[in-house]
Amino acid sequence: MAPHSLEPTEEAPSYDINLPYKPTSEKGQLKHAGASKYPQYLPKWEPVFFPPCPEFDFLDPALRADKDKRTLLKDAQIKHISPKMGSELSGVQLSSMSDAAKDELALLVSERKCVVLRDQDFADWGPASQQNFAEYFGKPNYQPVTGSVPGFPAFHIIHRDGNQAEIDKFFEHKLTSTLWHQDVSYERQPPGYVILCILQAPEVGGDTVFASTTEAYNRLSPGFQSMLEDLRATHSSEKMCNFARANGGLCRKDPIRTSHPIVRVHPVTGEKSLFVNGEFIRGIDGWKDPESDILLNFLTDHITKGHDFQVRLSWEPKSVVIFDNRTTCHTATVDYDARSDKDRHMFRLAPMAEVPIPAKK
């Protein structure tokens, strides 16, 4: 089946200003492409199409790990960013990790929700080695609408290139650039361990904020928790795909709809967490729209306002962040001057994990 494309619309502001859906100039060239430190990772839109991903068996690598993490911590040190979530891991390179250390890294991410590694050489490995590393943690995911690396469709390129006019237009319609979400939650088996690698960042700004949806669940009263554990919500990529097609972009997969539990259980820690977000959910199964809107707005508001179970991570050169997509929501922040030549350029690899485990079966 061929990918679809529609004529661009004149007045449709992007619902997510962090992502380009096509090249930003009329000639199809990025404005600062010549100045990029990593031109191989500038987004390209290959006219390919992917069928639905069939269900697959997944064994979380953290289940194999030494609970004391003796291999990982032989030379590494952990510094917690906040009490509830987030840690920095120093003294170790991803490139030198054995399989046992990777298993223990997965366990650390499961426990701490997101882990920051500084001074890494990961950005210089090349896409083949980077994708091979990510595949240790799950099956590759192919993002349907955004630019990728030619020949390596598992790369999701996040790149904003001198687009201040587009940002100004966005804020004519929107109050904030934040869009809290779990990555590709519409998949039957959404990503578990997600890898973000910075290639170039503004001097100040462009941080990523994470919230623990485990702690968000824990803060609710027992009666409210019990009600939520009976509910499911439908996640869909339709809005994203329709936006890309309506604005002249490619969509490499047909839209996906999947029903997931609102409360899911982590396969490693056994913790329960909320699995809701503001980007991909169409509604609560079996509920009328006003009922669904009230509850989903409350849960999203609860997660995004919970600054005592959030961390804000600043991007420094050579940084890599690995986070647990099952127990966090996150958002980028567009608070930097896009007129400078310090583009916000990174890539994401999002290996898919288990079918979400419901709290009540």
Q: Where are the domains of the chain?
A: 33-358
- Dump pLDDT digits (tens) for 33-84: 556 789 999 999 988 999 999 999 999 999 999 999 999 999 899 999 999 9
Share of the chain above pLDDT 90, in %: 71
pTM equals 0.91
- Dump pLDDT digits (tens) for 106-139: 999 999 999 999 999 999 999 999 999 999 999 9
- Residues 6 or more apart whose Cβ sits within 8 Å of residue 115: 86, 87, 88, 89, 105, 108, 109, 321, 322, 323
What mean pLDDT value characterizes the chain?
89
Specify the pLDDT at position 18: 58
What is the mean pLDDT of the segment spanning 233-239? 95
Q: Is the pLDDT of residue 24 over 70?
A: no
Specify the pLDDT at position 20: 61
What class is the 33-358 domain? alpha beta
Question: pLDDT higher for 172 or 272?
Answer: 272
Specify the pLDDT at position 35: 64
279 vs 179: CA distance, rounded Å = 7
Helix, strand, or coil (residue 96): helix
- Cβ atoms of residues 57 and 159 within 8 Å: no
Integer CA distances (angstroms), 6 to 70, 242, 250, 306, in order = 54, 9, 9, 40
Question: pLDDT higher for 16 or 102?
Answer: 102
Helix, strand, or coil (residue 156): strand
- Residues 6 or more apart whose Cβ sits within 8 Å of residue 88: 78, 79, 81, 115, 116, 117, 118
Question: pLDDT higher for 239 or 168?
Answer: 239
- Cβ atoms of residues 270 and 295 within 8 Å: no
What is the mean pLDDT of the segment spanning 292-316? 97
